Every structure is written in C-alpha cells, then in structure tokens.
C-alpha cells in the first residue's frame, strides 16, 4: 500500500533508462523548519522515484539516464523498487560530549510505508552475504540523513599502499589534469621543489588548466621570514597570474589578540588548523591523511584512497572552495595591495597575505564572531544532505564502471566546529558516533572493527563507544610507537608529545581491562626501521622504545581510520578515510574532511581487508599494561604538567 497522497509510479525502467516520472508526495517539514519535497528533481524537470518513503531515498539506486552519474550529495532512484536495502528513518537532536556542540543524530521513526519497503528490501536484496542488507540498513538509513552521499561502483576506488606510490600517483594526476587541480593540505614542505616543478610544467603545457591551493596560515608561514610554504608557492601566482593560480591560507578565529602575540609558533597550532587533505584533479579525488612534504612521500605511513568519480570530486571541490572563500589570499610581494584586512605581521619577504573584499565574512583576526557568522552561512549548505538543501546540479560519472549498477555509497563528511554557529551542523561526529552506537547492538556481536590513529587521543566519548561495541572478535587499535611518532626527537615542547600519546594509550588500555574487554580489543604499536635486520625481535614486540631519532631507515606512522567487518564476512563493508585524528581537537578545533565508504562490492571489501593487513603485518605489535610499566615507558611529571597547561589555556593535542 502506498503512503497517503503518493501516486503509484509507472513500472520500473531498465537500469540505463531515465527514471519514470511520478507525482510528488506531500511535503514534509524537516528539523530545519523548511519544507522540501521527498522526491528529488533533476535539471530537466522530471522527478526521481522515492519508493514511497516519506523521508528520502537511500543512497543506493540506479542512474537517471544512460551514462549519467549521481547528482552530488543526492540519491538516485534504483532500477527496481525492491533493490535498495537501506530504508529511511526519522531524526532527533543529540547533544554530543564535545563541549558547546549539538549535532544531529537519528532515532528510528520509520513510518509504516517506509517500514514495509525496508522489510521487502531486506527480504529480496541479493548481495554476497545473505544477511548483509539487514545488517547494513541500520547504518545507512541514518547516514542518509546525516551527510551528502554519492553512489559509485567499487571498481572506482583504488587503494594505495606506500608513501612512494602516493607521491607518484599525485604527480601523475597533476601531469594529466586538463581543467583543474585543487590541493587542500595542512602545508606543503618548504623544500618540495620537485612537486612545484611538476605543477609549473602542467600549467605551462596546458593554458586552460587552473590551480587552487589551500593550506593553513599558521603552519604555512611558521618558518617565515625564512623559506616556508607561502614563499615556495607565491612565485606560481607571479608566473601564471591570479586568474590561473589561487593560493589561500586559512587562519583560525580562535587565535587572536594576546594569544596570537605571545603563544610560540610551534604551539599555537593547538588552537585550530585547516587540516583537510583533499587532492583533486579533474574528475578524480585522492583522500588521505598525508600532507605534502618529503617524509609523507618517503617514510611516513598513511592511508590513500583514490576515487574516480566526477560527482564525488565535485562534492569535495565545493568544500575546498567554501573554506578557501573564508581564507587569506597569498600574493607575491610585487602584487600586494589588492585586498585588505591582513595584520602587518602577516606580510613577509616575498609574499603578502591579504583579506579580499569579496570574501563573504570579515577577517577572523579583526572580528572573530562576525567571521564565524559569515562562515556558517557559507558552509551549512555544503554540509547538509540533499533533503535539507537545494540540489540542482546535474553531475555525471565518467568512469567506465558507470555502466555497472552502483554498489558503493560514499558519504562526504566534514568537521567544521570552529566555523559554525549553534547548532553545529558538522557531519563527521554524528556519522562516526552513529556507526559505533550501531555496533553496540547485539546483532553485531560477531562483527569486528579496526581503528587506527597515529596520534592516539580519541575523544573521550569515542573511547567509551569503542569499549561499548558488541563486537567480540578480532577488534584492533593500531597507533604509533613513540619512536614512530612524527614528533619523536623534536626540540622543545613538541618533543614531549610522543610521551603524552604514550600516556593516553596507557589510559586506554587500562579502560579496556577495567571493563573486561581485554579478550576482544587488542592495542598494537606500529614501528618500522628498514635499517634494522632484527625488526621483529622479541624486545621490540614487547614495546621497548628506541633511543635514536628518526633517520632515513626509521619510519613514522600517520594513518588514521576505521574499518568495520560485518558478521560472517571476511572483508570490511564500511571504512572511514580522510584527515581526522578522531581527537577532541579534531571535533572542536580543526577543519577535517573525510569519506565514509559503505560497500557491497566483494572486490573492494577484499582490498580493504588487504589494507588492514599490510598496515599491521610486519610492523604492528601488541602491547600490554606490563609493557607500559617498564621504566623506559614511564611518562615524566613535566609531560603531564605540559598536557594540563595546554588544556588550561584552551588548546588540545
């Protein structure tokens, strides 16, 4: 039976035909107070089927017309009404544990028609594992309400393994780009002349090509007036002009006045950074946690997922452009004076940082509150799922796999807390917490997960949710051993960070044992030294700490993410990949961009399983409380004191 007011549509169209028209169901008032139709409309005026769901359709469906791809952030109608296994649900507000934030989470409030559609879908969907649709549904019905989603085929995802492969792939993307290159990163290494030469050669060879770069202002100018990211990049603007090269640097509104004047440069980044890692070229987007400097190209292990999808690339491109419009413009010194709003100490030999009058908000250094108000207006429309915003863009998927039925959903997640007025409309926190809360249900007792973070300091609420999961087999947490921490051997206060993360890992392990989860959650430390033939010896397996600083043979660990494997399956069906470290700082201070991938593609699941294996196989070793009790692992008092001071003055690790 159809919901009241919904007219029955014509018979399902073939997979490569345009979706049949159907009358719009009644308008429904969402939580933001604005009415919107449940049916999504394309640019040609025809409707797309909602399958009688009075909320909005699932992210899994079929294309609108032959050769077309998904609209950015939108769900397309599937080729048969019984295929989508992911019903819609209601929503409620959830007060997170992040101070001062309210994030949208969902409560199951599925109407009779939606429930019937969900039951039919679960009964008739065909996937590798017979129970997969029913087990995926509790994840996806809520994720559809939290964040924009793009549907692709699993073959459109390539998982890279090594830093060298990441670097070569990035250079290939730059060399083959025809229209646009956009790079969002924390910083570009001040000595990355080969990367800059690759960009320069591409711009010179292709006059229509445009380059857009976004970095963090604090990190990108840390070394100024000595060589820095800004001084390395500014000549590109001089050589090719501001119409072809745009260089932007984001500055947090949390560090102004006295704080900005007196807090040391290597410490001030604890008040918020542009931390997104988005590497796009034409219709491909590479998501990672890696920055663009020599160590990330050689011996700092991270994760790297390359997506070939115009619609998905466009979604992250809009996110890049939104933050860039709220950032300083970097100009070569000879071209200074075209904007306004920069402080004198933001002008350096070789480049100027100016605040263009065209930016939609005042400078964060002059009026932080007005800056946040303006930023909220820019970003809320980019973060919302399509049922809460207008979605008129007609996107495409140009990958050859577009001819195959989509079997993978990619949710575009972003955490922008410092740029948003209440209620906080960031999407990463509600998505991650929803996944973990779902894993606490008894039905997932035979599921398993792997969580990794190079800087191990999960937000306290996430720690509790990891401990509360019902998963009882093979759950693993992987973090960097002290000598594999990027700050190991650093001078000054930053040199204390490896010990600080050791203390936090020790506290996590205590909580695991205190809650009786020691049998199902294993903590592993990652370390790699290519110069040591005895890398796998018993002493290192027990967690002993190297005394030498990182060298050419010593690797550091920077990977972060989550993999979830459903009961009776061997490969993850869900994974989180991107820039977030899943810390209190990530959710309260930094700007983060991630993807939550949900797949029914067996080959992609196998590749995700391989990824978890190669990250752990030769270099990750289990540690226990006995290992942390060793004299060389004890954390000194001054480290604990420094952690307390940073928190006291409003910073975060």
Neighbours of 594 (CB within 10 A): 29
Q: What is the crossing angle of helices 428-439 and 460-468, to 10°?
A: 20
Chain centroid to CA 166: how far?
Answer: 17
E strand or H helix at 604: helix 602-616
What does the alpha-carbon distance between residue 55 and residue 479 come to, in Å, rounded to a whole number?
A: 40
Q: What's the rounded Cα separation, in Å, for the pair 312 and 317?
A: 9
Which positions ≥6 away from 507 have C-beta within 8 Å?
A: none
Question: Rounded to whole angstroms, what are the CA distances from 499 to 56, 57, 629, 635?
Answer: 48, 48, 13, 6
Q: Which one is catalytic: 275, 305, 524, 540?
A: 275
DSSP β-ladder status, 347-348 and 304-308: unpaired
User: Can you give the three-state secondary structure of 493-525, one letter per residue?
Assistant: HHHHHHHHHHHHHHHHHHHHHHCCCCCCEEEEE
Cα separation values, 133 from 86, 600, 631, Å = 7, 9, 50
**CA–CA gap between residue 324 and residue 380 (Å, rounded):** 15
Q: 453: helix, coil or strand?
A: strand
Catalytic residue among 277, 305, 524, 540: 277
Q: Based on the number of CB atoms within 10 Å of its own CB, is 600 exposed (0-12), middle (13-18) or buried (19 or more)?
A: buried
Compute φ and ψ for 74, nearest 5 degrees.
Answer: -115, 160
Active site residue 282: yes
Residue 275: active-site member: yes
Q: Which residues pair with 286 in a beta bridge?
A: 279, 306
Does residue 288 contact residue 302 with C-beta atoms inside 8 Å? yes
| Helix residue spans in 336-476 (DSSP H) | 368-383, 428-439, 460-468
Cα distances (angstroms) measured from residue 444 to each of 58, 136, 395, 471: 22, 11, 36, 6
Q: Which two tokens stand for residue 632?
A: 């060389």
Rama region for 624: left / alpha / beta (φ>0; ψ in -120 to 50; rest): beta
What SS3 state is found at 171? Answer: helix
Q: Which long-range contacts (CB under 8 A, 24 or more apart) does 34-42 make?
A: 34/388, 36/387, 36/388, 38/387, 40/71, 40/74, 40/75, 40/76, 40/386, 40/391, 42/71, 42/394
Using an 8 Å Cβ cutoff, are 643 and 653 in contact? yes
The closest alpha carbon to 186, from 223, 167, 165, 213, belongs to 213
Catalytic residue (one of 16, 206, 282, 366): 282
How far the first Cα of the chain sits from its last, in Å, is: 54
**CA 260, CA 271: separation in Å to the nearest integer?**
10
C-alpha 114/C-alpha 120 separation (Å) is 10
* Cβ neighbours of 215 (radius 10 Å): 29
Q: Is 407 a catalytic residue?
A: no
**How far is it, in rounded angstroms, from Cα 311 to Cα 280?**
12
What element of type H or E holds 232?
helix 229-240
- Phi and psi angles of residue 19, each rounded to the nearest 5 degrees, phi first: -65, 140
Residues assigned a catalytic role? 275, 277, 282
């Amino acid at each position: 039976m159809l919901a009241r007011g919904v007219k029955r549509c014509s018979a399902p169209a073939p997979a490569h035909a345009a979706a049949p028209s159907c009358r719009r169901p009644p308008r429904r008032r969402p939580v933001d107070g604005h009415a919107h139709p449940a049916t999504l409309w394309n640019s040609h005026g025809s409707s797309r089927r909602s399958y009688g769901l009075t909320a909005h359709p699932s992210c899994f469906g079929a294309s609108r017309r032959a050769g077309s791809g998904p609209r950015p952030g939108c769900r397309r109608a599937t080729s048969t009404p019984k295929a989508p296994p992911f019903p819609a649900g209601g929503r409620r507000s959830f007060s997170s544990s992040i101070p001062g934030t309210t994030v949208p989470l969902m409560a199951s409030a599925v109407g009779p028609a939606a429930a019937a559609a969900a039951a039919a879908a679960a009964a008739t969907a065909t996937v590798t594992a017979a129970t997969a649709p029913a087990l995926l549904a509790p994840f996806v019905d809520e994720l559809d309400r939290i964040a924009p989603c793009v549907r692709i085929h699993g073959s459109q995802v390539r998982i890279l393994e090594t830093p060298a492969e990441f670097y070569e792939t990035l250079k290939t993307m730059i060399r083959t780009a025809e229209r646009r290159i956009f790079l969002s990163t924390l910083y570009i290494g001040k000595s990355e002349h080969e990367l800059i030469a690759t960009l320069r050669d591409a711009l010179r060879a292709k006059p229509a090509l445009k380059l857009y770069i976004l970095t963090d202002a604090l990190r990108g100018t840390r070394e100024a007036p000595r060589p820095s990211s800004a001084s390395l990049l500014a000549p590109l603007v001089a050589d090719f002009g501001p119409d072809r090269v745009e260089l932007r640097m984001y500055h947090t509104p949390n560090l102004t006045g006295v704080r900005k004047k007196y807090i040391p440069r290597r410490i001030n980044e604890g008040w918020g950074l542009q931390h997104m890692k988005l590497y796009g070229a034409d219709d491909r987007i590479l998501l990672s946690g890696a920055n663009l400097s020599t160590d990330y190209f050689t011996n700092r292990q991270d994760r790297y997922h390359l997506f070939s999808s115009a619609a998905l690339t466009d979604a992250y491109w809009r996110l890049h452009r939104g933050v860039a419009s709220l950032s300083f413009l970097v100009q070569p010194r000879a071209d200074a004076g075209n904007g306004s709003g920069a402080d004198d100490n933001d002008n350096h030999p070789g480049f100027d940082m100016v605040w263009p009058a065209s930016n939609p908000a005042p400078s964060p250094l002059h009026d932080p509150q007005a800056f946040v108000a303006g930023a909220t207006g820019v970003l809320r429309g980019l973060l919302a799922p399509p049922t809460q915003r207008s979605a008129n863009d007609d996107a495409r998927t140009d990958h050859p796999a577009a001819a195959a039925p989509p079997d993978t959903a990619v949710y575009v997640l972003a955490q922008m807390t410092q740029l948003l007025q209440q209620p906080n409309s960031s999407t990463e926190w509600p998505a991650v917490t929803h996944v973990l809360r779902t894993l606490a249900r008894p039905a997932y007792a035979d599921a398993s997960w792997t969580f990794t973070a190079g800087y191990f300091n999960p937000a306290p609420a996430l720690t509790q949710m990891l401990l509360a999961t019902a998963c009882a087999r093979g759950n693993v947490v992987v973090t960097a051993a002290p000598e594999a921490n990027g700050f190991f051997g650093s001078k000054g206060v930053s040199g204390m960070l490896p010990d600080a993360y050791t203390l936090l890992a020790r506290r996590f392990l205590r909580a695991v044992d205190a809650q009786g989860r020691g049998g199902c959650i294993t903590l592993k430390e990652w370390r790699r030294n290519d110069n040591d033939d005895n890398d796998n010896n018993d002493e290192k397996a027990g967690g002993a700490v190297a005394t030498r600083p990182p060298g050419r043979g010593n690797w550091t660990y920077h990977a972060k993410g989550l993999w979830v494997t459903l009961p009776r399956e061997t490969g993850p069906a869900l994974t989180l990949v991107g820039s977030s470290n899943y810390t209190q700082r990530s959710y309260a201070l930094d700007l983060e961009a991630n993807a939550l991938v949900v797949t029914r593609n067996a080959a992609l699941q196998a590749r995700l399983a391989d990824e978890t294996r190669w990250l752990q196989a030769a270099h990750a070793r289990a540690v226990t409380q006995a290992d942390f009790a060793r004299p060389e692992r004890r954390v000194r008092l001054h480290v604990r004191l420094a952690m307390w001071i940073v928190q006291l003055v409003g910073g975060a690790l």
